[in-house]
Structure formats: C-alpha cells, structure tokens
Chains A and B, each alone.
Chain A
Amino acid sequence: MECRETQTLLTAFHDGELPADGRARVEEHLRGCPECAALLADLERVDRAAGVPDPGPAYWDRFNARVMDRVEREANGPEVRVLRPKGGWMREQLRYLVPAAAVAALVVVIVYYGGMRPGAPTPAAPPAANRPAAPDSAGERMTKAEPEPGATKKAEGAAAARPVPPPPPAKELAETVTREERDRLADRSLPEGDGVASRDRAAAPADVNVPSPPTALQRAPGGQERPGAGAGMDATGPVAPAAGSPAVPAADGMTQGSQAERKKMGRAAAPMAEPQGAGKETSASGMGVAKEPSPGSPCELARALAERERFRGAEDAQRACLAGDLDAPSREKGLVFLAELLDRQVRFAEADAVIADVDRRFPQSRPLELYRQQRPMVQRQPKAVPVTR
C-alpha cells in the first residue's frame, strides 16, 4: 500500500470504521512509514484536544429544575411567543391576511348576489369589506401573542406601512363572477344572516393559538361544518373535493392551492385572496404544490382533510397517496407533508422517523429544510387544535 492510499483511509482507520482487511494493510504500511504514522498521531492529538466548553457545575445544578419549570408551564397552557424567522415577518402576516381577504371577497360576492335577486333591497356595502383587514388582524394577533413591546410597535408600524388594499367595490367584483359561480353560490342555500356573520368573522381577530380562522365556505355559523362546502368533506365522511370549491389557505402554514391552481380552476374570487404575491405562499411540505392529483385521489383528500384539521384522516390518506406511483419530487414533498401531519398529532417521534427517511432518500431536501424552519411553530400548535381521530 502506498502513502496516498493509506492517507485516504487514515480517517476511517483512526475512527475504527475500516474493515479488518483494510485495517491490516494500513497497519502494515504504518509500521514502515514514519510520515503516515505522524499523520495518525496528529489525528489522535486533535481528537484529544477537541471538546465543548463546559458551562460549569452551577449551570448543571439548575438545569433540571429549569426544564421542569418549562414543562409545567407548558402543561398549564402557557402563552408562547415565537421568534419570527428572519425576513419572514410579512410572510407570517400573509398567513392571516390572505384568509381574511378571501372572506371579505366572498362577503362582497354574497351581498352582491343578494342584491341581484328580483325584489331584494339593494344592500349597503358591508363595512368590513371596505376597510383594510390587515391592520386589524395583524394588530390583534400581535397583541394576543404578547411579545416584547418593541416587537408590537414594529408589527404595528409594518402593518401601517404596508396596508392590504381594500377589496374592490362589489359591482366591479361581481362583473367577474361567472354565471356558474353564481349558480353554485345560490345552491348553497345560505342561512339568513350568514353574510353578516361572515363579515363579522372577517373583521374578527385571528387567534394566535388557533391560526385557522374559519371561513364562510368552511364553516356555517356556530362552527358547524356545512356539507358540500369547503374542501370536500361532509358530516359523514370524506367526499371528492368539489371542483370549484375555493381553497382558502389555512392560516397555520399549510397553505392550500397555489395561484396557478386557482387560475386553472377559474375561481372568480381568487384574485381577492392573493394580495401582495400571496400566491407564492406555499407550505414547506408542499401542500398545494405537489403533483396535482386527480380529484378524489388520496393525495387530494389528504390535503382537504388537513385543511379541515382532521389530521388523523389526512395522515391515512397521505399514506395511501404515498403508496401510489409518484414522481420523486412529489414523493419528497409528500413525505415532508406526512411528517407535518404527524407533528400536528403530537407524534413527534414518528415525524422524526419520516424526516430521517426524507433525509436518507433526498439528501439536502429543500422542502424538508423549509419545514424544519417552520417545525418548532407547527409543533407548538397542536395543543390548541382538536385532532380528529
């Protein structure tokens, strides 16, 4: 064996990771080569010196008590503050503003439709639809999160500096609504006062712990899910998603439906739901951006169920989706999505295993990297989110 080959194997030799035959060959070379033997001595010297600065006994004396203190405070339902990702403030805000804008747009459509019926009184423009929702929702969220005063001030400043444009007037919007859309909305048999309730919800603060404000399409007043509305679930179980059902982004980061998808589906209200480039808002786990499945496929069902916070059912559907024939990018995103679903069910160890699998199969996975950045926030949310098993 020559020096060059020996030195290639020296690290593995030093770490005891070389198979027996290779080890014997290196040892033989080392006996007759002082230069390579000196290199090995250097490796041993570095390893002996390598270490991590110890914080000292006083630190360790208090360590366990501090852990238990945090555990107990969590068990008692703590207020949490989340260090926002660098440069991600606006993105965070959009998670709340986009659903609020979508709801406002829908209210305008509903009010306009009410005005189109023969004999119906011309409705006044809803106040919530004519004022920017951004400062309200963002400001309220920051207040609930109770960050340090500086952060609240900053949030208010940013919200004021970048107000979300108010929704267009009802008439202008209604001209873009297709007859099919009107018929579909008419078929929903909206209960009396739904528009008002929806309007109220549009102006209501987004709860920081339950960051998925119900939309008029997702839930009827009183929080009851309305059959046929939203992402394709009825009271008895999953159904294939309606082709025209608006995909309102879930405010918890699992954004549904890319801008391209919405355009493809020809939704009249979609532009209202995508202010300031919100169409770029996609989940790290690829929800809404993975290979577009056929309607009613397990992949689609998983997204629909996750949107409705039925994470257990979504997990089952996603596993069925992954059992199918997916291309590599879709599988990569699908696995990351599965990890997110497990995290949301507080099954972190299983999520860890899925993440390790992604790491193994897709080294340097970008979707995984993005999800890792969101993960601490995702893991914090399930306590406030009812998991349907």
Chain B
Amino acid sequence: MRSDLDGEKDERLAALAARGDRGAFDALVTRHRQAVYRLCWSAAGNAADADDAAQETFVRVYRSLPSYDPARPFGPWLRKIAWNCGLSVRRDGNAGVPRVAGGDAPEAVDPAPGPEEAAAGNEERRRVSDAMAALPAELRVVMVLRAVEGLSYAEIALTAGIPAGTVMSRLSRARTRLLAALGGGS
C-alpha cells in the first residue's frame, strides 16, 4: 500500500479510485478487507462462501465507484454491499453470484484458527466460534457487527436492513445461544 495514502479518509480514497487511481483502491481494500470478510462470513456462515462474497464485494465496489458520492460515508455503503454479497452466496439460499469464468476458483481457505487464537489456546473461544457458525445468519450478523466490529444499533440496522429494535432483540437471542454454548453462564 502506498504510504502517501495512509492518512487519507476512505471517502477521499474512493474519489481517487473512481478517477482510476489503482493505488487508492488497493489501499481501500487493504483497509477494509478483514471487516468485509467478517461480515460476509457472518452472512454466509462458512469460510469458502465468505471468501467468494468478500472478493465479489470489492469487485462490485470498484464497479460502483463512479456512482459513489464522496459526501456520504464510505463505511455504511461498503457494508451494505458486503452484506448483500454475503447473502447472495449463501449456499443454503436461493441465489447465486456471478463469477468470472476460468481459473478464478476461490483458493482453499485455511481452516485453522488464526495465530492469535492458536496462541491463546482458548477453548472457550473455540466453542463460541463453533456456536457462532451454527447461529442463523440474521443472529450471527448482528453479533459480529456489534461484538466484533463495535457498531451501534443504528449502524447495524442500516447494514442488515432491519429496525433498531430488532437489532436489540436479535442480539439478545444470539447471546443467549452463545452463552449456552459456553456452558450456561451464571
């Protein structure tokens, strides 16, 4: 990533990318790829589909940059695209995502836990991770957006296209299930 772009705001990078600055687009991808992947994973529920959706998200972002208004915040716009892509690739759903033909099959995603998780050896985290994967997508996404990304109810509502009250009730249900996976709690 170009160092001169480090301090630039997302909206500025998007405007540069819309004018054909590939470095700016690369910086945007680097900055947001993990959050996009996590959101796609929360929608899709597995690593392979999350990879597919995350890639597709940035392809769509690139395609849509000419119509992006830099006066509007970039984050919610990106998350909305990612959420739609995540829903689209769900193999248990009824839709498909167009793919580029020829040699673009998503690489196998390492199923092993990340270094941080491996180092911690945290059994509790592992169990919650399994329970997260087992949650329905609508519960999982609010959990990821809140507990992992730290978004407010309003931001989650915008991303998932649900009322803020529904965000709270879904969070409550998700936590209850995860708590059960942890062994009941208090």
Interface of A (DSSP majority class): helix
Q: How far is the CA of A130 from the CA of B47 in the complex (A)?
A: 51
Asked if B104 is at the interface (CB within 8 A of a chain A CB), the reply is yes
Task: Determine if A38 is an interface residue (Cβ-Cβ < 8 Å).
Answer: yes
Pair B29/A373 contact, Cβ less than 8 Å:
no
Chain B min CB distance to A130 (Å): 36
Question: Which chain A residues border B37 with CB–CB below 8 Å?
Answer: 52, 55
Asked if residues A53 and B113 are in contact (CB atoms below 8 Å), the reply is yes
Contacts of A59 in B (CB 8 A): 51, 107, 109-110
* Interface flags, B15-28, vs A, CB<8A=1, else 0: 00000001000100
Q: A80-B98, A80-B101, A376-B96 are in contact. Are A50 and B143 (CB under 8 A)?
A: yes
A187 to chain B, nearest CB (A): 43
A64 contacts B29, CB within 8 Å? yes
B-side binding surface: helix, strand, loop or mixed? helix
The docked-state distance in angstroms from the alpha carbon of A74 to that of B97 is 14
Q: A80–B168 Cα gap in the complex (Å)?
A: 40
A45 B101 Cβ-Cβ under 8 A: no
In the complex, the chain A residue whose C-beta lies closest to that of B185 is A42
Whether A375 and B153, one on each chain, are in contact in the complex, defined by CB atoms closer than 8 angstroms, is no
Q: Give how many B residues have a beta carbon under 8 Å from the other chain's beta carbons.
A: 80
| B144-160 contact mask (Cβ, 8 Å, vs A): 1 or 0 | 10111000110000100
Residue of A nearest to B135 (CB): A50
Measured between beta carbons, the chain A residues less than 8 angstroms from B60 are 348, 379
Residue contacts A-B, CB under 8 angstroms, 13 given: A46-B175, A49-B127, A52-B148, A54-B34, A58-B110, A59-B107, A71-B63, A346-B67, A347-B67, A348-B81, A356-B80, A375-B88, A380-B98
Q: Which residues of A contact B (CB under 8 A)?
A: 11-12, 15, 17, 35, 38-39, 41-43, 45-47, 49-60, 62-64, 66-71, 73-74, 78-88, 146, 346-350, 352, 355-356, 359-360, 363, 372-377, 379-380
Q: A45-B185, A352-B77 are in contact. List 6 more A-B contacts (CB 8 A).
A: A17-B153, A49-B125, A52-B41, A71-B58, A349-B67, A376-B56
- Chain B interface residues (CB < 8 Å from chain A): 22, 26, 29-30, 33-34, 37-38, 41-42, 47, 51, 54-56, 58-60, 62-64, 66-69, 77, 80-81, 84, 87-88, 93-102, 104, 107, 109-117, 122, 124-125, 127-129, 132, 143-144, 146-148, 152-153, 158, 161-163, 166, 168, 171-172, 175, 178-179, 182, 185-186
